[in-house]
Structure 1
C-alpha cells in the first residue's frame, strides 16, 4: 500500500461524514433557494431569483443577528478574559480545579431551563421589582435586546473562557518573572507578553461563540418574546410555519455567505496580527 493510498484511507471517514452531513445538505438548500413555494407548501423547483429579491423583507432578523452576535461575542470576551486570567495565572492548582468545575456547572442544566430562569429574573417579579422597591418604576428588561444580550453572555460565557484559559495556562511563567525582574510594570508585562501570547485562545473563543450565535434560535425566542428575533427564528418561521422552503433556503444561503465573509475577514486580521507579533519578537 502506497503512502498516498494510506492517506486517502485515513481521510475517508471524516471526508464521508463531511460530504454527507455538510456538503450535500448545503447543496440541496442552495438548489431550493432558486425555487418557488408550492401551492400546498414546501418547494417547487424552478430557476428564479425571486426569493433573493425578497430578502429585504427579513432585514430586521439580519440586523438583529449582525448587531447582537458581535456585541454578545465582545461582551463575553471582556468578561471571560479576566476570569480565565485569574484561573490560569493567579489561582493555586487546588482552587483551579474547583473553580473550573464551577465554570462547567451551568452546562449540567439545559439551556432551556436556564433561559426560563432569566425570564423570571428579568420579568416583572424579578429585577424590575427590586428597582420598584427602591423607587425606580417603569423599568422593562424582558423582551428587549438587553435581555437577549444577557442570555447570550450567560449561555456562551464558558465557551469563551476555556480556549482563553488553555492559552494562558500554557504561558511560560518565567517570561512574566523575567519581565518583572527587568523593571517592567505589570500593565506593560500584560500588554507585551500575556496578551499577545493569548491571542490564539481569544481567536478560538471568539470564533466559536460568534459562529454559534449567528444561528441562535432559543435565546431570542424566549428572552426576546417575538420582538427581538434572529435569522434562526426567521428560518423556523419560514420552514415550519409558513412552509415557504424556497424563501427559507434563500435566507439560509445568505446567512452562510455572510458568515463565510465575516469569518474570512476575521481570520485574515488574526493572521496579520500573528505575523506582526512574530516580526516584533524577532526585532
Structure 2
C-alpha cells in the first residue's frame, strides 16, 4: 500500500493531508466539545460540590464554616430524622404518576386516534399551561380548592364533605397539584408512542375476532409501553423532588423532602444534612430509573 501523497500543487516537502475518515472522526469530537463543556460546568462540577457537601463535618455551620471530614454518618443521621418526608414524597409522587398515567393515557389515546383534524389543536392545549409559570398555576389551584371556593361549597352541599370539611392543606390537594402540573409530561410521550401505531394492526386484531378490550391489551398497550415508561420517568422524577405544591397546597403535615432540603439550605444553613438528603433522593431516583430502563429497554423510548 503506497504512502499518502501531498495534494496537487503543494511543495514537495508539504505534509500529506489526513485521510477523510480521520478528519470526520475529529470533526465529531469538535462538535461534541461544547456539549461536553456544558455538562462539565453545569452538571459535573455542581454534582461534585453536592457530594462533597454531603460529607462535611456536621458540627460546622454557615457562620463558622464547614470542614471536609468524609463524615458518611450524615446519611444515616438524615435518614433517621427525615425518613417521614422522604417516604411521603415517594408515595405522593407514585400516586400522582399513576393518576397522570390514567388521565394521560385516555387523553393521548383520544388525540392519537379520535381527534382527526383537531389533533394539533389538542396538542397545543396540552402544552398551553406551560405558557404560565409553575408558581402561578399552583396558586390557581390554591384558589380553586380554597375553603370558601366553589368546589368545597359544592361538595359540602351535596354531602361529600362535612360542614367543616376542606380540601386545601390535605394530601388530596398536594397530589392534585402534582397531577395537574406534571400531566403534560405524561401525555406527550404517550401520544408519541400511540401516534406511531399502525391502525391496521388493530383492524387485523378485530378481523381475528378479538374484542375491543382484548385488541387493546394485545396490540395497543404493548406497542405504547415505551411511552408509558418514558412518561412515568418524566413525571415521577420531578414530582418526587417537588416542594412548591406541598408548600402552597399543603400544611406541615404534608411536607415533602423537597421542603426539608429547601429549609435546611436556606433557613437552617445545615449544608451537610441538606447535601446528604439530596444525595439520598438522587440515589433512590437513579436506582428506580436504572431498574425501569433495564426492564423496558431503551431502543424504543421516545
TM-score, with length taken from structure 1: 0.90
**What's the counterpart of residue 108 of structure 1?**
131
Given the alignment, which residue of 262, 267, 273 partners 2:293? 267
**More helix per residue:** 1
In the TM superposition, what whole-angstrom CA distance separates every residue of 1:57-79 from its partner, at most 9, and x where no partner exists? 11122011111111111110011
Matched, 1:119 2:142: yes
Q: 1:193 to 1:39 in 2, by over 3 A?
A: closer
- Give the Cα–Cα distance (whole angstroms) in 2 for the partners of residues 177 and 228 of structure 1: 48
Matched, 1:67 2:91: yes
- Give the Cα–Cα distance (whole angstroms) in 2 for the partners of residues 219 and 137 of structure 1: 25
Local SS of the residue matching 1:35: coil
CA deviation after TM superposition for structure 1 residue 98, in Å = 2.1
**What's the counterpart of residue 222 of structure 2?**
196
In the alignment of these two chains, the number of paired residues is 272
* Matched-pair contact (CA < 8 Å) for 2:85–2:256: yes
Q: Which has the higher contact order (CA 8 A, sep 6+)?
A: 1
Structure 1 residue runs of 5 or longer lacking an equivalent are: 275-283
CA deviation after TM superposition for structure 1 residue 204, in Å = 0.9
Q: Cα RMSD (Å) of the superposition?
A: 1.9
Point out the more displaced range, 218-227 or 165-174: 218-227
Given the alignment, which residue of 30, 51, 57 partners 1:30? 51
In the TM superposition, what whole-angstrom CA distance separates every residue of 1:194-253 from its partner, at most 9, and x where no partner exists? 111111111111111111112212111111133312221111101110001111111111
* Matched-pair contact (CA < 8 Å) for 1:42–1:245: no
TM-score, with length taken from structure 2: 0.84
- Give the Cα–Cα distance (whole angstroms) in 2 for the partners of residues 72 and 243 of structure 1: 31
In the TM superposition, what whole-angstrom CA distance separates every residue of 1:151-187 from its partner, at most 9, and x where no partner exists? 0111111111111011111111111222222222111
**What's the counterpart of residue 47 of structure 1?**
70
Task: Return structure 1 stretches of 4+ with deviation > 6 angstroms.
Answer: none
Q: Larger Cα Rg: Structure 1 or Structure 2?
A: 2
